[in-house]
Chain A
Amino acid sequence: MTQSFKTGGRIQGHSANLLLLAGFAIVAFVLPIALSGNRYLAFVAGVTMIHILWACGMNLLYGYTGLMPLMFAGIAGISAYTVVDLTANGWSFWLALPVGALAASITGTVLGLPSLRLKGFYFTLCSLVIQTVMTLGFIYFSGLTNGDTGFSQIPLPSLRGEPLSSLSYDLVLAAAAVLGVMVLIAIMRSTLGRRLIAIREDDELAAMLGINVTGYKMIAFFVGSLFAGVGGALYAPYIGFISPRSFDVLISMNIWLMVAFGGRGTIWGPVLGAALLAPLSFFLQEYYTIKDVLYGALIIAVIVLMPAGLLGSLGRTPRLPAAEIDAPVPRRSPK
C-alpha cells in the first residue's frame, strides 16, 4: 500500500472516544423515549440505529481493513432469512438471533475468502458478483425465502410470552448500535485493530513483519459479518417485511456510502454518515424524483471532492493529494 492513512493510523484520543461514546449512548437511548409520541419518527430513528450498526461493520472491513465488500447486504439477508425461518418454526427470536448472526458470520467469512487473492477493485468486483448471486439465490430458493414476494407480517419478538412494545424494541436497537460502536472501539484499541490497519496499509509488509494476514482478514470478515448479521436479524421484525430487494446491491452501496461519506477508518465518521444518510431517504419520500439522483451525486461528490469523508477531511493534514486515498489497491495488482 503506497498511501498512508493518517486519520485511521493515528490512535485517537481514547478518553475523547469514551466521552463521545457516552454522549452517543445517551442520545441513542433518549431518542426513542423522546420520540415515542410519534411512531414514525421513532421508526426512522430505529432504522438509523440498525444502519449505524451496519456502518460499524462495513467500517471495520472497508475503513480499517481496506476491503470493499459489496455483498454486505446479502450477508445481512442470510441472517434475516435464517431468523425469520427459525422463528416461523417456533424458535424464540432471542435464540434465533445469535444463530442467524452466526450463520451470517460464517457465510461472510467464506465469501471473504476471495479477498486473500484479490485486492482493491478486483475484490470489489468479485463481491458485486457474489451479491448478485445471493440476490438471485434469495429469489430462486423460494422454499426458504418465499421468492420475490418475501415474508410479510413478521412479528416483533416477545419476551416471557409478552410481545415487546415498539418502545422496548427501539431501546433494543439503540443498545445494539451502542454495543456495536463499543465493540469497534475495543477492537481498534487492541492488537487486532492495529494489525488490521497494518494490513490495510501494506499487506506484504505486514506479512513480512510476521502478521498472519490470512488469519486477520478472516477475523475481520467474521466480525464485520457479525455486525451485518445482527443488524439483519433485528431489521426483519422491525420493518415487518423482508424480500430479496431488502438486501440487494443498492443497500450494500448505501451502507458503503454512509461509511465513505462520514469518513472511513474513523470511529465516528461512519456513525455520523449513517445518522445523516439513513433518515434522508425517509425525509425525501415526497421528493421521490430526485432521491436516486441525489444519492448518485453524493457518491460522486465523495469520490471526487472528499475521498476521506466528512470527519476524515476535517482531521486531515492537507498534504495528501485528495484523490489518492480512495485507491486501496496494492502496487502488485493481481494481473
Chain B
Amino acid sequence: MTRSLVCAAMISVAMLLSTGIGGAQEKPPVKIGFVTELTGAWTFFGTSCVAGLKFAEKQINTPGKRKIEFVIADNQTSPAQSVAAARSLDVQDKVLALSGPTSSDTGLAVYGYAEQNKVPFVVPVAAFPQLTKPGSRYTFRLEPDAVGWGYAISKFVEKQKPGGTIALIYSDYALMRAITAGLKYQAPLSGLKIVADIAFPQGSNDATVQAAQVLAATPDYVVVIGAGGFDNTITNQLLDLGIKPNQIIHPFGLTTQVMNWGKRSIGSYYGTFFDSNLDALTDEGKSFVEQFIAQYERPPSYGENFCYVTAHVIREVLDKNPEAADDREKFRDAMSALKTKETTSNIPIEFDKNGARKEYIYIMQITDIVGKAYKAKQTFYTEWDPEVIPVYTLVK
C-alpha cells in the first residue's frame, strides 16, 4: 500500500511539473507499438501476453495522466512480418517505442529494426541472449536471458545434489539451444556431469526411444524442453518409462504447461520468473492474480506478468520524465537510468549498459493440481549478473 502511495505522490508531483498547476491540457496519447504473435506457432504466448497487457492498460490510464495507447500488431510468428509491422508502427503510427514480441526470432527481427532505426524497444518476454548483446543501445529486456537460465538450473542441481548427473532432452530450437548451452557450460563448473544430450529436430512426434536412452543413462535429473505440444509428449513418455516426477526439471513453466503436465507430474520442478504461488507477491501482484483468474479462469504466469509489468514500467518512466513522451532519445535515456521494482513481486528492475536486466529465476515444485489451478512451492531462488557466464559468446 505504501508503495502505491509513494507512487501516487510521485506521479502527482510529476503531473504538476508537466501540466502546470491546475492546467489539464489535453496532449495526444503516447503510442507504443506492440508487435506480437496473434497468429502462428507462438499464438498461445502472444495472446496471453496481450491479456496481461490489457489488464495493465486499464490501470495505467487513470484520468489526469497522459494516455498511453498500445497499438497492437500481429507478426504471425514470422520474423519478416515482425519487421514489416515494426516499420509500419514506426513510420505510420509514429510510436514512441516498440515492444511485444514473445518469441526469440521475432524479437531478434524487431531488435534489428529498432537498433538500426534508433527506436527504443522494450522486450517483455523473449529470452535469446543476442537481444542485449554488447553494443545494444535502444533495447531493454525484462526477461532474463536463456543462457542464464541454464546457468541457474546448474546452480539448482548443485544445491540439490552435489556432484549429480543431468540428462538433457530438448527440441532443436534457438531458445532450447541457448538454455542448454548455459547448462552445459556451467555444469562442470558446478561439479555436475551431463550424461545424455538429446536434441530433436523440429517436427518430431515420439520420444519413447530417447526416453529409454535417458533412462539407460540413469541421471539424477532430467531437463526437459520440448517445443509446443511435443513438450507434453516427452514428459509423458519419460514418466511412462519410470523416470520419477521429482527427477524432472522444466526450465520454464507457464500455467497452461503446468496444467498440461497434469497430476502425474506432481513433484516435478519448473523454472519461472513470476508465479501465482510465489511467497513474495505484493498486494498488487495478488490482486493481479485474482482479477486474472476471474477473467480467464486460470492464474497468470510469467509471460502475462512481464507484459503487465512492461506497461507499468513505461508508465513510470513517462511519469518521471514527461519530456521523454515525445522524444525517443530521452525515452531511451530514461529507460537506461530506470531503477524500479516489478509492481507484482518487488523484484528490482535495472538495466545494464546493454539493456539486460539483473537476472533471477525461481524454481518451483508442483505440489497439487486441482480443477483449473495448481499449487506449487518455491524451492529455489537465485540472482545473477547477466554476464556471470559468457552468455553472448556461448550462442550466436
Instruction: Name A residues whose Cβ lies closer than 8 Å to a Cβ of B.
Output: 38-40, 43, 136, 139, 142, 146-150, 152-155, 239-241, 243, 245-246, 281-282, 285-286, 288-289, 291-292
Contacts and interface: CB of A to CB of B under 8 A. Distances in A.
Given A40-B90, A292-B39, 16 more contacts: A38-B91, A40-B91, A142-B396, A147-B177, A149-B128, A149-B174, A150-B105, A152-B108, A153-B116, A239-B83, A240-B83, A240-B112, A240-B113, A241-B83, A241-B113, A288-B38
Contact of B396 (A43, A146, A241): A146
A175 B218 CA distance: 63
A285 B105 CA distance: 19
A285 B89 CA distance: 11
A32 B111 CA distance: 26
B24 interface: no
A138 to B, nearest CB: 12
Interface string B176-201: 01000000000000000000000001
Interface string B91-134: 11000000000001100110111011000000000001010000
Nearest to B131: A152
A205 to B, nearest CB: 43
A321 B116 CA distance: 53
Contact of B174 (A148, A285, A289, A291): A148
A40 B79 CA distance: 17
B91 A241 contact: no
Contact of A239 (B80, B173, B174): B80
A136 B201 CA distance: 9
A298 B285 CA distance: 48
Interface residues of B, number: 35
Of the listed residues A43, A136, A153, the one surrounded by the most CB atoms of chain B closer than 10 A to its CB is A153
B91 A288 contact: no
Contact of B116 (A39, A43, A155, A286): A155
Given A285-B73, A288-B39, A39 B108 contact: no
Nearest to B172: A139
9 contacts: A39-B91, A136-B201, A146-B396, A153-B112, A153-B115, A243-B80, A285-B74, A288-B39, A288-B76
A156 B39 CA distance: 30
Contacts of B38: 288
Contacts of A245: 78-80, 105
A241 B85 contact: no
A282 B88 contact: yes
A147 B38 CA distance: 24
Interface of B: 38-39, 73-74, 76, 78-81, 83-85, 87-88, 90-92, 104-105, 108-109, 111-113, 115-116, 128, 130, 172-174, 177, 201-202, 396
Contacts of B172: 139
A243 B107 CA distance: 12
Contact of A40 (B39, B73, B88, B113): B88
A243 B112 CA distance: 12
Contact of A154 (B105, B112, B173): B112
Contacts of A40: 87-88, 90-92
Contacts of B116: 153, 155, 240
Nearest to A286: B73
A144 B364 CA distance: 38
A288 B74 contact: yes
B39 A152 contact: no
A158 to B, nearest CB: 14
A39 B93 CA distance: 12
A246 B80 contact: yes
B112 A241 contact: yes
A283 B386 CA distance: 40
B76 A39 contact: no
Nearest to B201: A136
A243 B79 contact: yes
